[in-house]
Amino acid sequence: MTPFDTAVTSRLALWQRNATLAAGAGIVIAAVGLFFDHPQFLRSYLYGYVLWTGMSIGCWGILLLHHTVGGK
């Protein structure tokens, strides 16, 4: 491995650790919300699901268009 590969690997490990901590915190906050206000939790979960699903489907459509017209 080159020094560049080592630096990239260490930065990636840092990002992965921070993302894992953020995901854990989000799960804990969601669990607290689930037990304190169940109907609001379900509405918020549905909103987040629709938001991120729509975002991914929209980006997928743009990607398909890009490949269809041969964009650079």
pLDDT tens string 26-40: 999 999 999 999 999
pLDDT of res. 1: 66
More confident residue, 68 or 72: 68
Q: Tell me the pLDDT band of 6, cut-offs 50, 70 and 90.
A: confident
pLDDT tens string 10-61: 889 999 999 999 999 999 999 999 999 999 999 999 999 999 999 999 999 9
Complete DSSP assignment for 6-22: HHHHHHHHHHHHHHHHH
pLDDT of res. 44: 93
Contact indicator for 44, 30 with CB cutoff of 8 Å:
no
